[in-house]
Structure 1
Amino acid sequence: MAKAVFRPGEAKNIEEKVMLPLYKDYSPIEDVEVQEEEEYTGPTAEDLRREAEEYKAQFEVEKQQMKADAQKEAERIIKAAEDTAFAEVKRQTDQAAVIKADAENDAAAIIEKAKAEAAQIVAEAQAQHDKLVSDARSEGFEQGSAEGYEKGKAEVERLIERMHKVLEAVMQRREEILQDTESQIVELVILMARKVIKILSENQKNVIMANTVAALRKVKTRGNVTLRVNIEDVKLTTQHADEFIQHVENVQGITVQEDSAVEKGGCIVETDFGAIDARISSQLTELENKILEVSPVKNIKRQDPLTSAE
């Protein structure tokens, strides 16, 4: 440690020069050119915020336009499908009318034939009666009159009874023809409905969408639901699960699961309180039952709604 205080005689002169370091540098300072910072002329934070708001609003408008265009396209597809279905219905209805007309013509022909046979029977009975009366008169007026009358009466009654049996058989055959025709028409209508609905459910994607929304709207209690659909409809229903929730008030969450027992276009909605069956086959069966309720024909053979439409 350097001494700060020296006694007399301790300080000595030295010949050498001693350079003490300066605590400050006194060398001349070179002029340094200072570059001025360029003034920022880009968008401000407020401009960026406003631009983001405008972009968001524009995106919302485009989104709504896309949804509207998609809705119009869906309506166009549905309209085209309905036109095709109605054309098929008209064609099948015309065919049913032809079948019924042919059956009625056959029945009318049978009745006319029966009337002709009945008239012939009556004519034969009258001729037989006249012959018996004539023969009786040739044998004797009193005896011939009584016996001829009885024989003629018996023969006429026999022929009239035969005529009634023929007419009864003809009327029964007529009823069988008409009933068989009505049965064919009802079966044709049911088969037509099966084919049209099967074609629509397999070829129109919006069928599963509309069917699912209709089924979900039947859910009475709020909560989560499980949606069981055909494997080919899993992707589409999963993508639109949020839209289903927006359209249905009581549904809070949707879990989509594959179910091989559900035909394409149909679904089963499972809740904590039960299930809603919206399968295409179930709806076809319900439609068939309603048709049979208003139909006088009760002996129509029931078939599987979807396999019979193939």
Structure 2
Amino acid sequence: MISLSKIIKASFTRNTGNDKRVIEIRDYFTAQKQVPETNSELQTSLQAQTILENAKVEAETLKREAQLYYETVQQQILQEKENWEDEKQQLVETARKEGYEIGLQQGHQDGLAQYHQLIEQARQIVESANSEYYRQIEAANETILLIGLKVAEKIVDAHLNENDEHFVSLVKRAIREVREHSEVKIYVHPTYYDAVISQKDELKEIFNQEVDLFIYPDAQLPDHGCIIESPFGRIDASVDTQLQQIKEKLRERFEQLEEA
């Protein structure tokens, strides 16, 4: 007799708190209309937008692959259920024939007991397989999420490392959030301090009035970190913060996919 446990298990083996505000992602790379930009800054903005769009396309591809994986495994479960129904009918027929052939009440009872035992065994296997399936789906989603984030990190890091001007452009966009204030402090990693301080005059032109602009190096920040303080509050414009937002949005999309 075919072992139902082996059939199902083999199949699944195969398929197996301070006043702090963060700039939204769309503001991070989206050019502002209020303050004219130089050709160089506009080009940098378009390059940054292209980089983000590539990251979004990669994320969409990963989500489609996750959906395809889900549908494939779901179809496999349905197929295994159909196979089990066929197996169950064979077991019933075998038990019935054996009971008649023995011709004894005890034999009939033994066959029936064996049948119920096999049914219970199959039920437990199906439950175990379903649990393993959902565990694998959850693990796959987390893996895809991490891959998507790593792709975004590599794209953004490569873009910023090409030229210090790219990082300065991001600082300019962050400053626009506080351009109404007359005193602003900017903290950046020492790696980009010289690049930012050298364009202090250009940064001051972004403001709508005279401004006391202070720029400080902060070695405790990540390489692409940027903190802006003003009477309005504290803005975290660090690249890592933007990538964390991307991760959270990817996680939300996966959760929506699972609920669908």
Pairwise TM-score range, normalised by the shorter structure = 0.5 to 0.7
Structure number with the higher helix fraction is 2
Residue 197 (structure 1) aligns with: 156
Is residue 252 of structure 2 the alignment partner of residue 285 of structure 1? Answer: no
1:259 to 199, 210, 218: 218
How far is the alpha carbon of 1:93 from its aligned partner?
5.1
Q: SS of the counterpart of 1:296?
A: helix
Residue 100 (structure 2) aligns with: 133
How far is the alpha carbon of 1:118 from its aligned partner?
5.3
C-alpha separation between the residues in 1 aligned to 2:175 and 2:108?
Answer: 84
Q: Which amino acid aligns with 1:232?
A: T
Q: Which amino acid aligns with 1:225?
A: V
Q: How many residues align?
A: 221
Q: Which amino acid aligns with 1:180?
A: A
Give RMSD over aligned pairs.
Answer: 3.5
Residue 42 (structure 2) aligns with: 75
8 Å CA contact 2:180, 2:209 repeated in 1: yes
**Which blocks of at least 5 consecutive residues in structure 2 are unaligned?**
1-35
Q: Which amino acid aligns with 1:186?
A: L
C-alpha separation between the residues in 1 aligned to 2:90 and 2:42?
Answer: 70
Is residue 186 of structure 2 the alignment partner of residue 227 of structure 1? Answer: yes
Among all aligned residue pairs of Structure 1 and Structure 2, give the percentage whose two residues are the same amino acid: 15
Residue 112 (structure 1) aligns with: 79
Q: Which amino acid aligns with 1:125?
A: V
2:196 to 237, 256, 263: 237
8 Å CA contact 2:44, 2:166 repeated in 1: no
Closer/same/farther in 2, CA of residues 286 and 100 from structure 1, 3 Å limit? closer
1:123 to 57, 71, 90: 90
User: After superposition, what is the alpha-carbon deviation per residue over 1:48-97, rounded to whole angstroms, capped at 9, x for unaligned?
Assistant: xxxxxxxxxxxxxxxxxxxx9x8334433443454455456545654664
C-alpha separation between the residues in 2 aligned to 1:168 and 1:238?
Answer: 63
Closer/same/farther in 2, CA of residues 89 and 292 from structure 1, 3 Å limit? closer
Residue 154 (structure 1) aligns with: 113
How far is the alpha carbon of 1:186 from its aligned partner?
1.4
Residue 175 (structure 1) aligns with: 134
8 Å CA contact 2:175, 2:228 repeated in 1: yes
Residue 29 (structure 1) aligns with: none
TM-score by length of 1: 0.57
User: After superposition, what is the alpha-carbon deviation per residue over 1:113-151, rounded to whole angstroms, capped at 9, x for unaligned?
Assistant: 564355334413320222113312xx5xxxx4xx55544
8 Å CA contact 2:189, 2:224 repeated in 1: yes
Is residue 177 of structure 2 the alignment partner of residue 218 of structure 1? Answer: yes
Alignment of structure 1 residues 16-165 onto 2, 5 Å: 71-80=38-47, 82-83=49-50, 86-87=53-54, 90=57, 94=61, 97-98=64-65, 101=68, 104-105=71-72, 108-109=75-76, 112-113=79-80, 115-116=82-83, 119-136=86-103, 139=104, 144=105, 147=106, 150-165=109-124
Q: Which amino acid aligns with 2:39?
A: K
Q: Which has the larger radius of gyration?
A: 1
C-alpha separation between the residues in 2 aligned to 1:189 and 1:276?
Answer: 26
8 Å CA contact 2:45, 2:169 repeated in 1: no
8 Å CA contact 1:111, 1:170 repeated in 2: no
Alignment of structure 1 residues 267-306 onto 2, 5 Å: 267-271=226-230, 274-296=233-255
Closer/same/farther in 2, CA of residues 272 and 98 from structure 1, 3 Å limit? closer
C-alpha separation between the residues in 2 aligned to 1:268 and 1:87?
Answer: 26
Closer/same/farther in 2, CA of residues 216 and 200 from structure 1, 3 Å limit? same
